[in-house]
Amino acid sequence: MNSLRIILGDQLSWSISSLDECDKSTDVILMCEVWNEATYVRHHKKKIVFLFSAMRHFSKELLKAGYQVRYSELDDDDNAGSFAGEVGRCLAEQKFDKVVITQPGEFRVLEDVQSWSERFKISVDILPDTRFLCAPEEFASWAESRKQLRMEYFYREMRQRYNILMNGRDPVGGQWNYDADNRKPPKNGLDIPTTYKSEFDIITKTVSELVAKKFADHFGDIHPFHFAVTREQALIALHQFIEQRLLHFGDYQDAMLMGEPWMYHAHIGFYLNCGLLLPLECVQAAEQAYHDGRAPLNAVEGFIRQIIGWREYIRGIYWLKMPDYAQQNFFEADRALPSFYWTGETEMNCLKNCVTETRQNAYAHHIQRLMVLGNFALIAGLSPKEVNEWFLIVYADAYEWAELPNVSGMVLFADGGYLASKPYAAGGSYINKMSNYCKSCAYNVTKKNGSEACPFNYLYWDFLARNREKLASNHRIGMMYRTYDRMDEEKKQAITADSHRFLATLAL
């Protein structure tokens, strides 16, 4: 009995289930760089370099460990350009009894894999992805009895289940969640450690030349490139975060500073989401730092919640709600994505900075994504399809299972409140409080109306007014309608007129 075992680009883990019971003497592992995956959405150049380099390194390590590996490079003459094409080519050349693959992370790829058995007349074993801490079926049964899902309750169960930051049945410190301590505005003179910088080795160099040539018209800069591309490097990146930045991770979690794209964040989503790191090892490293007195509880709890709470929760929602989730558009928003999401050419300094950093790094931290890039998309009524595609393209940690619920659910409220309890809409004063963007902006954040006023200020009220029917019954937003209703007619008209004038310029 010999098997063809497929390892996809986001399955670069030694513990991946498709390697279980692998017979090194008879089985072949197939890894392939394919044109379809890099172009079904036109991924950021740095993201492609990162994944191809990590895949090539992983295949070399597998070979070294004695596995038989068949690796297709993108520019191999006979590369068929798709997963199915490469599997078919392999099966035509060599006889196998079955194909084995761990469940792909994206619905689109799973549907493809599910057609292989019939297409290639071979048995295909699709194994569960055991790297996640909550299986889709477990999440579905948790969600079954609930009308509205809330991450906080799911998270508490995960803490108990995996015995993380627990004192018996109680949370360490007496509280489950310390987010109230995690909203400090940035202050001047912070000494922010730099992010991990890997060596630009020959494999990454070769891949970067390939990507520069083949994907020249894709968004994003390749250089400087300093992501980890091996597990060993990813572990160093993780420990560098734990030692140097976790201390302030909580305090400045929501803060944004010009020229400081990495802040005190972990930047390990790239590695977690492609398999170089595993969730529990990250969580346990942070928990240990707390117990050793090297990091405070608010930081450690916040970090752990992102991984065992939020990350697992959004994946659960993805598998529960796909494929319908991708079609959601609660506000019926249909405005095209403005060109400045690609060029960064806008007078709005916050957006300009966030887009520029995204282009340079294939990364922006969560408040930049949620409260600047996302908040604008929400209040300007941009099309969820276009916004989702943009987020999937530009971030090196983005796969649809993570991106879609975050963007459609959290950022755009396109699911009507299934995932989040209220839309994360905000005016300029939030951005001003949490960043130093407004000090050097062409717009005036304290002005509410007129051509000099910060567009976030009037777009925020216009968004609420436009969507009143859909939102008025949401008790978390009700107070804002009462404030709106107290405004005089002249003020309300100014909001509408400014918004119309501004939104019209986006299409130019």
Residues near ligand DLZ, by CB under 6 A? 8-10, 32-34, 37-38, 43, 48, 51, 104-106, 109, 399
Helix axes 202-214, 45-64, angle to 10 degrees: 140
**Residue 166: CA count within 13 A, CB half-sphere:** 13
Phi, psi values for residue 89, rounded to 5°: -65, -40
Instruction: Answer with the entry of ligand DLZ, ligand SF4, none that 399 interacts with (C-beta below 5 to 8 A by kind).
Output: ligand DLZ
Q: Which residues contact 209 (CB under 8 A, 6 or more apart)?
A: none
The two tokens of residue 505 are 């310029």
Q: Give CA–CA dist 439/397, Å, rounded.
A: 31
Strand runs (DSSP E) across 158-230, as ranges? 166-167, 170-171
- CB-closest chain residue to ligand DLZ: 9
Q: Are 128 and 135 spatial neighbours (Cβ–Cβ below 8 Å)?
A: yes
Note whether 376 binds ligand SF4 by CB under 6 A: no
Interface residue with ligand SF4, options 29, 222, 438, 459 (CB under 6 A)? 438
Residue 202 DSSP one-character state: H
Contact 303, 286 (CB under 8 A): yes
Stretch that binds ligand SF4, among 266-274, 315-323, 450-458, 463-471 (CB under 6 A): 450-458
CB 213 to ligand DLZ: min, Å: 16
Binding mask 214-243 for ligand SF4 (x = CB under 6 A): ------------------------------
348 is a contact residue toward ligand SF4 (CB under 6 A): yes
- Could you say which of ligand DLZ, ligand SF4, none residue 105 binds, taking C-beta under 5 to 8 angstroms by partner kind? ligand DLZ
DSSP letters spanning 307-374: IIIIIHHHHHHHHHHTTGGGG--TT---BPPPTHHHH---S-HHHHHHHHHHHHHS---HHIIIIIII
By a kind-dependent CB cut-off of 5 to 8 A, residue 456 interacts, out of ligand DLZ, ligand SF4, none, with ligand SF4
**Minimum CB distance to ligand SF4 smaller for 299 or for 425:** 425
Alpha-carbon distance 143 to 506, whole Å? Answer: 40
Least gap, CB of 499 to ligand SF4 (angstroms): 14
- Smallest gap from Cβ 428 to ligand SF4, in A, equals 4
Q: Does 431 bind ligand SF4 (CB under 6 A)?
A: yes
Supply the minimum distance, in Å, between the C-beta of residue 451 and ligand SF4: 13
349 is a site residue for ligand SF4 (CB under 6 A)? yes
Backbone angles phi, psi at 29, to 5 degrees: -100, 130
Q: Does 426 bind ligand SF4 (CB under 6 A)?
A: no
Between CA 150 and CA 354 the distance in angstroms is 29
* Residue 458 in the binding site for ligand SF4 (CB under 6 A): no
454 binds ligand SF4 (CB under 6 A): yes
Residue with smaller CB distance to ligand SF4, 288 or 440: 440
Q: Where does this chain touch ligand SF4 (CB under 6 A) — which range of 144-152, 216-224, 348-356, 468-476? A: 348-356
Report, in Å, the least distance between residue 33 CB and ligand DLZ: 4
314 scored as a contact of ligand SF4 (CB under 6 A):
no
Query: Which CB atom, from 159 or from 448, has the smaller least distance to ligand SF4?
Result: 448
- Structure tokens that stand for 332 in this block: 């019926």
Q: Which is nearer to ligand DLZ, 83 or 331 (CB)?
A: 83
3-state secondary structure of 223: coil
What token pair was written down for 190?
């912070």
Instruction: Assess contact for 282 and 270: CB atoms under 8 A.
Output: no
Least distance CB 365 / ligand SF4 (angstroms): 16
77 Cβ contact partners less than 8 Å away, ≥ 6 residues apart: none
**Of residues 443, 458, 460, 461, which one binds ligand SF4 by CB under 6 A?**
443
Contact 491, 449 (CB under 8 A): yes
State in angstroms the smallest separation of the CB of 443 from ligand SF4: 4
Helix/strand/coil for 382? strand
User: Which chain residues interact with ligand SF4 by CB under 6 A?
Assistant: 348-350, 428, 431-432, 437-438, 441, 443, 445, 454-456
